[in-house]
Amino acid sequence: MIARARLTVTLTVGAVAAVLCAGTAARAHHVGSYAPRDNEISANFKQIKFAIQARKMDVALRLFDAGALRKEMQARAARLPGGLERDTRAALERGDARAAELDLAVFVAALARDLAMDADRTLAAGGSAETRTAAATRFLEAIWRYYNLVDFAISARDPRTSVGVRLAFDEAEGYLKPAEGRPPADPARLQATLQRVAQLLGQFVDASAPAAAPPASPSASSPRSTASPTRRES
């Protein structure tokens, strides 16, 4: 009986893992079914997110305090909405899952935005078509590593941005991997696509920043409890 119970638990856990992996693969849109390998930041993001979804906010807070994601927030403070790290920690500390998830999505979107801007500058610097194509491929994979983490959260709050970014990735993939018999497009054509990604994500970051939300009413329990058209909670 004990062995059978253990087998049942193992199968159940395996089934849950399979569902989670299937969901990730379905969202791994860029480069076919490609799912970028995690780095320290994306792995820490997933740990925090799973803890939040399990309603283990104390665990999420510890993972945030000691993790690579917070360190990167601190390093990039000048490029992020003011007070984002403070607000993220405060949301985790008070157990506000929706506010914490939105703050994390803003941070990851900002990472993807900055990578798109870096890629645009790299392509603008010139070089051979082969060199620029290789650089563009690496940048797109890095951007997708982050964007794939928050596409669901962004689409729930701002479908226009989600659709626009996905269409841009489709376009970029077409440039880098053209149909059989057609030569690769000039990598310089990718610049407009990368600029569009940076613009869309930048608008999402700015609109979702704490300063974009109206002041909370005296009866509100926290600044995030008052939703606005630009900072929607769902």
Query: Can you give the pLDDT of all 234 residues of the chain as single tens digits?
Result: 444 443 333 333 333 333 333 333 334 444 334 556 789 999 999 999 999 999 999 999 999 999 999 999 999 999 999 999 999 999 999 999 999 999 999 999 999 999 999 999 998 888 877 788 888 889 999 999 999 999 999 999 999 999 999 999 988 887 777 666 666 666 667 888 999 999 999 999 999 876 544 444 444 434 443 333 344 333
DSSP state of 58: H
Q: Give the length of the chain.
A: 234
Tell me, yes or no, whether 224 lies in a domain.
no
pLDDT score of 38: 85
Q: Which of 76, 158, 177 is nearest to 117 (CA)?
A: 76
Domain-located, residue 21: no
- Please tell me the pTM assigned to this model: 0.74
The single residue listed with the structure tokens 């392509």 is 123
pLDDT of residue 10: 35
Residue 9 within a domain? no
Does residue 230 sit within a domain?
no
Structural domain including 186 reads: 37-210
Q: Kindly state the greatest CA–CA separation across the chain.
A: 68
Is 223 among the domain residues?
Answer: no
In a domain, 24, yes or no: no
At residue 230, the pLDDT reads 40
Tokens of residue 40, six digits: 């320290």
Dihedral (C-alpha) 41, 115, 134, 175: value to the nearest 10 degrees? 120
Residue 166, Cβ neighbours under 10 Å: how many? 16
Give the count of domains, the chain.
Answer: 1
Q: Which pLDDT value is given to residue 232? A: 38
Residue 222 located in a structural domain: no
Answer whether residue 231 is part of any domain: no
